[in-house]
């Protein structure tokens, strides 16, 4: 089962992704279904009786452009240029413009222009979002001019839609950057935790195997020294036993220090100072 970041990768990073990943698996349904539902509801809503539906021509153009957006999910994206994905939200912006002209500025359909904008800021690069912002403001302006809105009204809509679109784009892309930074920091933390676990495993191996073997070797030498009796050979063996005991003590201190530093986050890469004999 995929993680939430698999379903919404655009919130993290789009760098290095395959062309048109927004319209392909994995997580396609969770990305596309909410936006598709809004598009269908907006398109059908203007057919409600007594909704003031003035023009079938613009409506059919809107439906045709919407179907073109749906067909984008079937395109061979890996073989297309890297700039082609931005055409899909731009195409849907044109569909919403035709829908506004079909139903009238006062119908409230103009709010659907936020749909391609939200899609682009969630799943596209900065420059693609900028293109959609321009397209959204242009669509709102064209619809107002073609429907003979007063000049002051047109100017006010341009200013408000520009401000709103830029605000949404900056806020969402900033959020994506922060999420990406958090994910990078989390990955670094996980790497540190993994390294700490490796250090703990090495420490356990030293404690359970190496130290035990050295201790056993010291006992064997001690027994051999007792068997050969007093003399130069026994002294040399006892000196070797003492050296092994010192090595065991130093190794145990290093292992315990390694565990303490791993718990406190201190770098354990430095070697312990040698003990004087």
- Token look-up 């849907």 returns 92
What is the C-alpha to C-alpha distance for residues 162 and 113, in angstroms, rounded to an integer? Answer: 12
Tokens of 245: 């005991």
Task: Quote the mean pLDDT of the chain.
Answer: 80
Phi, psi values for residue 100, rounded to 5°: -65, -45
| DSSP structure string for 206-232 | IIIIIHHHHHHHHHHHHHHHHHH-SSH
Q: What is the pLDDT of residue 211?
A: 72
Query: Does residue 26 have a cis bond before it (omega within 30 degrees)?
Result: yes
pLDDT tens digit string along 153-175?
A: 889 989 999 999 999 999 999 99
| DSSP structure string for 39-96 | HHHHHHHTTSTTS----HHHHHHHHHHHHHHHHGGGS-GGGS-TTGGGHHHHHHHHHH
140 in Cβ contact with 110 (< 8 Å): yes
Q: What is the helix (H) or strand (E) element at residue 244, kind and residue range?
A: helix 232-264
Quote the longest CA-to-CA distance of the chain.
118
Q: What is the pLDDT of residue 13?
A: 47
Angle, alpha carbons 48-54-60 (nearest 5°): 80
Q: What is the pLDDT of residue 139?
A: 93
Q: What is the pLDDT of residue 2?
A: 45
Q: What is the DSSP letter of 150?
A: -
Q: Where are the alpha helices (DSSP H) in 111-231?
A: 114-123, 126-146, 151-205, 211-228
pLDDT category at 276 given cuts 50, 70, 90 is very low
**Which has more confidence, 237 or 179?**
179
Percent of the chain with pLDDT over 90: 34
pTM exceeds 0.95 for this model: no
């Amino acid at each position: 089962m995929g993680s939430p970041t698999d379903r919404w990768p655009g919130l993290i990073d789009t760098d290095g992704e395959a062309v048109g990943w927004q319209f392909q698996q994995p997580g396609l349904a969770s990305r596309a279904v909410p936006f598709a539902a809004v598009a269908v509801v907006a398109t059908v809503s203007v057919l409600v009786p007594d909704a003031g539906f003035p023009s079938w021509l613009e409506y059919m153009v809107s439906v045709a452009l919407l179907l073109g957006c749906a067909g984008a999910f079937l395109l061979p994206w890996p073989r297309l240029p890297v700039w082609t994905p931005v055409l899909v939200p731009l195409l849907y912006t044109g569909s919403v413009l035709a829908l506004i002209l079909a139903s009238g500025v006062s119908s409230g359909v103009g709010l659907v222009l936020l749909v391609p904008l939200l899609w682009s800021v969630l799943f596209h690069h900065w420059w693609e979002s900028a293109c959609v912002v321009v397209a959204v403001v242009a669509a709102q302006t064209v619809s107002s001019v073609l429907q003979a809105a007063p000049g002051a009204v047109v100017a006010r809509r341009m200013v408000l839609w520009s401000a709103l679109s830029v605000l949404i784009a900056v806020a969402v892309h900033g959020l994506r950057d922060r999420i990406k930074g958090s994910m990078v920091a989390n990955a670094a933390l996980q790497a540190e935790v993994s390294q700490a676990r490796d250090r703990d495993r090495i420490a356990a191996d030293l404690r359970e195997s190496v130290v035990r073997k050295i201790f056993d070797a010291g006992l064997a030498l001690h027994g051999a020294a007792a068997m050969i009796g007093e003399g130069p050979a026994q002294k040399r063996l006892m000196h070797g036993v003492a050296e092994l005991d010192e090595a065991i003590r130093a190794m145990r201190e290093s292992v315990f220090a390694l565990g303490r530093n791993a718990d406190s986050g201190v770098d354990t890469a430095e070697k312990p100072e040698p003990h004087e004999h």
